[in-house]
Amino acid sequence: MLTKTQNKYIRSLTQQKYRKEHNVFIAEGDKIAREWLTSSVAIQMIVATEDWVDAHARLIGKHPEASLHTVKEHDLEQVSALQTPNKVLLVVERPPVETTLPLSEWCIALDGIQDPGNMGTIIRIADWFGINHIVCSPDCVDVYSPKVVQASMGGHLRIKLYETELEPFIDKVRIPVLAAVLGGSNVYEQTPLPAAVLLIGNESKGIRDVLIQKASNRVTIPKLGGAESLNAGVSAGILCALLKRS
């Protein structure tokens, strides 16, 4: 079971300032928990129902560094960041901050992405297409927020995540920079690239003009119907499928 102090500690991790202070984050749900427990990443706490603990004793045994707390479902509800709590929650130690920026490899650069669902989806998309790097501007949503971790479905384990100002980063890269905008070149007519930076902008404001000006090319998914715009995560998925086909 959890003490009141432990309960309060876990609930505090829904806030970015406490995640940074303690250098941890929450990973919640059966599939996500199994992925993290399969990895060698250090786990601080495992909070789970008795039946989940019994069913996954081998995985739990791989992490002797973690404190194990067997709880009732209503206890898990009190600390869960989900509307519908699952049977397991992990408090995971954040990996070291990535400092060597990817200057010549495929990556996705995100300018001010604010929606946790979009961020998590883009991490998952990068994982699917074998894009190992995501570079985030400082005003992006925290990549370790519970909703981002939930939406990424384990993508954090395989994707290197960076936070930096995008202008100097783009100035240094040695590969094409493709800005996803309206009114650019038809992406269906683009040749797949061996390496590039795909620049995706804020959900409402798009990519800042200063970054668009630095891009090698501007690409657009042609509009055939009546929708005003595409979700940032959906756009990233379509563009990755068309631009990275090898």
Q: The domain spanning residue 23 has which CATH number?
A: 3.30.1330.30
State the pLDDT at residue 159.
96
Do 87 and 12 fall within a single domain? yes
- 161-203 confidence digits (pLDDT tens): 999 999 999 999 999 999 999 989 999 999 999 999 999 999 9
- When mean pLDDT is compared across 24-28, 87-91, 230-234, the lowest value belongs to 230-234
85 pLDDT higher than 80: no
Q: Which domain holds residue 19?
A: 4-93
Structure tokens at 125: 């998309």
State the pLDDT at residue 97.
83
Do 132 and 204 fall within a single domain? yes
Do 116 and 146 fall within a single domain? yes
Instruction: Map the chain to HEC letters.
Output: CCCHHHHHHHHHCCCHHHHHHHCEEEEECHHHHHHHHHCCCCEEEEEEEHHHHHHCHHHHHCCCCCEEEEECHHHHHHHCCCCCCCCEEEEEECCCCCCCCCCCCCEEEEECCCCHHHHHHHHHHHHHCCCCEEEECCCCCCCCCHHHHHHHCCHHHCCEEEECCHHHHHHHCCCCEEEEEEEEEEHHHCCCCCCCEEEEEECCCECCHHHHHHCCEEEECCCCCCCCCCCHHHHHHHHHHHHCCC
Do 113 and 89 fall within a single domain? no
What sign for the dihedral angle of Cα 97, 100, 101, 107?
A: negative
- 97-147 confidence digits (pLDDT tens): 888 999 999 999 999 999 999 999 999 999 999 999 999 999 999 999 999
83 pLDDT higher than 80: no
Number of domains present in the structure of the chain? 2
In terms of Cβ atoms closer than 10 Å to its own Cβ (0-12, 13-18, 19+), residue 138 is: exposed
Neighbours of 226 (CB within 10 A): 5
Domain membership of residue 99 (yes or no) is: no
Nearest C-alpha neighbor of 157 from the set 194, 175, 132: 132
Q: How far, in Å, CA of 44 to CA of 128, rounded?
A: 28
Share of the chain above pLDDT 70, in %: 99
CATH code for position 143? 3.40.1280.10
Structure tokens at 78: 């009190």
Where does a domain end: 49, 68, 93?
A: 93
Say whether pTM exceeds 0.85. yes
244 pLDDT band (50/70/90 cuts)? confident
82 pLDDT band (50/70/90 cuts)? confident
213 pLDDT band (50/70/90 cuts)? very high
Q: Give the mean pLDDT of 19-38.
A: 95
226 pLDDT higher than 80: yes
Do 119 and 232 fall within a single domain? yes
Mean pLDDT of the chain: 94
State the pLDDT at residue 246.
61
Where does a domain end: 93, 120, 142?
A: 93
State the pLDDT at residue 227.
83
Do 81 and 112 fall within a single domain? no
Q: How far, in Å, CA of 6 to CA of 10, rounded?
A: 6
Nearest C-alpha neighbor of 119 from the set 144, 93, 91: 144
91 phi and psi angles, rounded to 5 deg? -105, 115
State the pLDDT at residue 1.
82
